[in-house]
Amino acid sequence: MKLQRMNRRALTLGALAVSGALALTACGSDDTGSSSGGSSAAATGASDIKCDDAKGQLLADGSSAQKNAIDAWVKNFTQACNGVQVNYKGSGSGAGITAFTQGTVAFAGSDSALKPEEVAASKKVCTGGQGIDLPMVAGPIAVAYNLSGVENLVLDAPTLAKIFDGKIKNWNDAAIAKLNPDAKLPDLQIQPYHRSDESGTTDNFTKYLIAAAPNDWKYEGGKAWQAKGGQSASGSSGVAQGVKQTNGAIGYMELSYAKDGLGTVALDTGAAAPVKASSDGATKAVAAAKVVGTGNDLALKLDYTTKAEGAYPITLVTYEIACDKGNKAETLPATKAFLRYLASEQGQGILSGIDYAPIPDSIITKVRTTVEGLS
């Protein structure tokens, strides 16, 4: 009997040990996270990241659209290059460019390419050079909605333009009903949400409306929202939170923010089937973009009116903005090492898993060459 009790105790302890090991494995899995969508895979190859002489603190600011991607990149990079601290604020594209042209950050993120006056301002901080646009991450701008009882919503550009301009006010409007013949649309007021801060997301969303619905969107566009009415919130996270809390709300945000119960609109682009926001759809849209920058600048021009099958037209490209020449000596090694990792196959490889889209090979190879030439 004593021997049997000892055997039972040993089996129990063994089971507990296995259970504990499995729990630790699960915790380790969560730490690199499936929600980081590929960060763990990239982290396993952290030793492949070239740190060179990178050290110290790297300050950056800008696009909130890429913040979730930057967070995943920073985690992997600083695991490999533990002598570097990367502090990216994500205050918005406008704030990032201002910080860059004032010389307070090593690089900035922007969802819009530099304007001529911003290039001119950058020459004051880039000794002997200027700020250049390096396309580093693409992402679909989802049109997310909160509408009880409606799971699959289809809209086109003219209808979206009228909704965000306050011309279509109710969810059971005839224009929406025509695009959604099988949906039970409620007699409920539409609550459109837009960004309150200057944003490249706004710039790209309105570029789509200008291009695809020119008769219904008469505003000039730009980083600042121009239409009247609607609700406003700061940052993509603020817009997402507002839509999530309001039945009948609709807003634009990066796909990575359109989570937790929010539906996303399928766009009727004129293709055979409506297209939902996806990483693959964004990459297909960017693949057709043209490089319009000169010299080392790799600014792109997107086709917001594409009817290509599976291409999602409301797609933004976030640029990392750095000096081609005249970078500060104390931060240049860290800037190059970090940007090199972002543009690498490893860095680009984590994007699809976290609701972003990698830059097509034809463009990212040029980015890699340009990063190596930063001085």
pLDDT at 4: 43
Would you give the distance in Å from CA 286 to the centre of its chain? Answer: 14
pLDDT at 48: 80
pLDDT at 9: 41
Among 93, 109, 113, 103, CA closest to 297: 113
Place of tokens 């492949």: 48
Q: What are phi and psi of 367, to 5 degrees?
A: -60, -45
Question: How many Cβ atoms from other residues are within 10 Å of residue 319's Cβ?
Answer: 34
Its pTM stands at 0.75
Tokens of 228: 């009247």
Task: Report the chain's C-alpha Rg in angstroms.
Answer: 23
Rounded to 10 deg, the angle between the 67-80 and 332-343 helix axes is 110
Q: Are 252 and 266 in contact (CB under 8 A)?
A: no
pLDDT at 46: 53
End-to-end CA separation in angstroms for the chain = 78
pLDDT in tens, the chain (375 residues): 433 444 444 434 343 333 333 332 333 323 333 333 333 333 344 558 999 888 999 999 999 889 999 999 999 999 999 999 999 999 989 999 999 999 999 999 999 899 999 999 999 999 999 999 999 999 999 999 999 999 999 999 999 999 999 999 999 999 999 999 999 999 999 999 999 998 889 999 999 999 999 999 999 999 899 999 999 999 889 999 999 999 999 999 989 899 888 999 999 999 999 999 999 999 899 988 999 999 999 999 999 999 999 999 999 999 999 999 999 999 999 999 999 999 999 999 999 999 899 999 999 999 999 999 999
Tokens of 139: 């992402």
Tokens of 298: 């790799």
